[in-house]
Amino acid sequence: MTYEEFTTGQKEVVAALRQMSAAATAPISEKQGLEKDLVELVKIRISQLNGCAFCLQFHLSLARRLGVEERKLGLVACWRDSGVFSPREAAALEYGERLTLLGNHHLSASDRPVPGEEFSAGEIEHLTIAIATINAWNRIAAALHFAPGT
């Protein structure tokens, strides 16, 4: 099945997932919301972990259009050792990995971002939604064998 066939046949599902994804970057107040480039970095890393070539290519393309540095895109797989990610980006990537690998390790309270450090409470909610949404897309795309675009 192709992505186009899926989006044509499952319009309600696609609309709901797109709405969830958009909500993660839409500000809920003047002080809360997530930067689109940050969300794309997290989606790229999660797509790498889940082995979803379709989503990986899709989000690499979006990140490039947003102006994310090529250096960061090339090093996101080894973000811990790269030294190029801000503390905020590193916290988002760490949380994204922990939530994505939830089946391997219980997510304790100490594994979640602490409000007030890098993220507000509302931003943590948005980040959690973004992570859940890309995990859903990864599983759909991998299960239905969406081929990466050209």
Query: At residue 16, does pLDDT exceed 80?
Result: yes
**Domain 3-143: homologous superfamily in CATH:** AhpD-like (1.20.1290.10)
> Which of 124, 95, 116, 131 is closest to 34 using CA atoms?
124
List, for residues 131-145, the tens digit of each pLDDT value.
999 999 999 999 999
DSSP letters along 53-110, please? HHHHHHHHHHHHHTT--HHHHHHGGGHHHHS-S-HHHHHHHHHHHHHHTTTTS---GG
Residue type, 95: Y
Name the pTM for this structure: 0.89
The tokens for 89 are 């980006």
Domain boundaries, the chain: 3-143
pLDDT band for position 61 (cuts 50, 70, 90):
very high
In the 8-state DSSP scheme, what is residue 114? P
List, for residues 80-105, the tens digit of each pLDDT value.
999 999 999 999 999 999 999 988 87
